Amino acid sequence: MKPGTFTISLDFELLWGIFDKVGIRYKPEYFANTRRIIPLMLEKFANSGIQATWATVGMLFAENEEEWKAYQPDYLPSYRDKQYSAYEWVKKYGIRPEVHFAPELIRQIIDTPGQELGSHSFAHYYTLMRGQSPEQFRQDLKATQKIAQDKFGLGLDSLVFPRNHLNELYLKICLEEGYSYVRGNPRNWFWQETQNESFSKKLFRTADCFFSMGERTSFSWDELQPVPEEPLIIPASRILRPFYRNNHFMNGLRLKRIKNEMSYAAQNNEIYHLWWHPHNFGNDPVGAIQELDEIISHFLELKSLYGMESRNMKGVGLRHCEEALKPMKQSVLGIRD
């Protein structure tokens, strides 16, 4: 029986992830803190044997504006609402290297044991927004794979859809462009169709961080059901919300919920998939890192008590494929566990 598994995926995007929300109204120290916190996060992961998938916006791979332009796809997303286009944003406000490029951090991710460099699309592409097309999405994925191969000699295996806009009609394209693993949304109704937001969805998602508002968040290995000609969907369990400054009660509730969910997964040999944005640590880096330390310490305790493992998205996918192939191998070779 496979042990419980702790999976982490990170949406690494800097300003590319929120440009349509904030324009130029952001605090420079917010992203400066993010850039400083990532090496520390990587160090903590390495020291504790934590694996993670860093789903990275492809535009962050570029060194400068010239290289950024060189890797742009031929077909840009034609959203009806142009505010969602990274390309239109740059036309209006220009490139800002400190929040738009990070190749040195990507190199550190690659060089840290257990870390998988994944994709968050090239231009923080919204697959459920009106106006864009399947071919534009394909070109975006091609641009990401090309810059990853040219600059770092890597093909990317795991993909996280920006804003959790998982377009099931595009899954075949993902596999055709090299992505074998995709992060899915939690199963609860308030995480479905995230392009159609409502007050009730937001309310339930927020409340669920503190109290159980739906189904259990971890899932068994048997619940990973591959579909022919599509990547393996690895559902998310929980988002690690930003640390609440000067609110120890709310932070305590939120952290207790995560720990309890991790414990359940470890005790029942299930997968618990935690995710967040590195820039979520930007407002209060000290408090956020202390919280991460508690999560890591809890994982190490569960590893000692129950044999819980840490696997990134690719690691989960490979382990699942190994188990799926085991009966065939046993039949051919005439062996048993």
Which tens digits make up the pLDDT trace of 167-201? 999 999 999 999 999 999 867 534 555 555 655 55
| Other Cβ atoms within 10 Å of 69 Cβ, number | 12
Give yes or no for residue 323 having a pLDDT over 80: no
Q: Tell me the average pLDDT across 263-287.
A: 96
| pLDDT for the residue 321 | 78
| pLDDT for the residue 328 | 38
Backbone Cα Rg of the chain = 20
Give yes or no for residue 259 having a pLDDT over 50: yes
Give yes or no for residue 57 having a pLDDT over 50: yes
| pLDDT for the residue 201 | 54
> In this structure, are residues 277 and 13 in contact, taking their beta carbons and an 8 Å threshold?
yes
> In this structure, are residues 186 and 208 in contact, taking their beta carbons and an 8 Å threshold?
no
What's the total number of domains in the chain?
1
| pLDDT for the residue 241 | 82
| pLDDT for the residue 189 | 39
| Other Cβ atoms within 10 Å of 48 Cβ, number | 15
Q: Tell me the average pLDDT across 293-311.
A: 98
pLDDT in tens, 120-150: 999 999 999 999 999 999 999 999 999 999 9
- What Å distances lie between residue 174 and 120, 272, 311, CA to CA? 12, 24, 22
Give yes or no for residue 1 having a pLDDT over 80: no
- What Å distances lie between residue 317 and 10, 63, 151, 233, CA to CA? 17, 31, 25, 9
**To which residue do tokens 């090299």 refer?**
178
Task: Tell me the C-alpha distance between 12 and 27, whole Å.
Answer: 18
**Which residue segment(s) compose the domain that 328 sits in?**
5-333
Give yes or no for residue 77 having a pLDDT over 50: yes
For residues 323 and 115, the model is more confident at 115
Helix (H, G, I), strand (E, B) or coil at 234: strand
| pLDDT for the residue 333 | 43
Task: Tell me the C-alpha distance between 127 and 208, whole Å.
Answer: 26
- Check which CATH number belongs to the domain holding 73 and give it: 3.20.20.370
| pLDDT for the residue 190 | 43
Give yes or no for residue 326 having a pLDDT over 50: no
Own/partner pairs, 128-132, CB within 8 angstroms, 24+ separation = 128/165, 128/167, 128/193, 128/194, 128/195, 129/77, 129/79, 129/80, 129/81, 129/84, 129/165, 129/195, 130/79, 130/80, 130/81, 131/77, 131/78, 131/79, 131/80, 131/81, 132/77, 132/78, 132/79
| pLDDT for the residue 209 | 56
Give yes or no for residue 22 having a pLDDT over 70: yes
For residues 337 and 18, the model is more confident at 18
| pLDDT for the residue 252 | 76
Q: Tell me the average pLDDT across 33-55.
A: 98
Question: Above pLDDT 70, what percent of the chain?
Answer: 85
pLDDT in tens, 226-246: 889 999 999 999 999 877 677
Q: Tell me the average pLDDT across 72-90.
A: 96
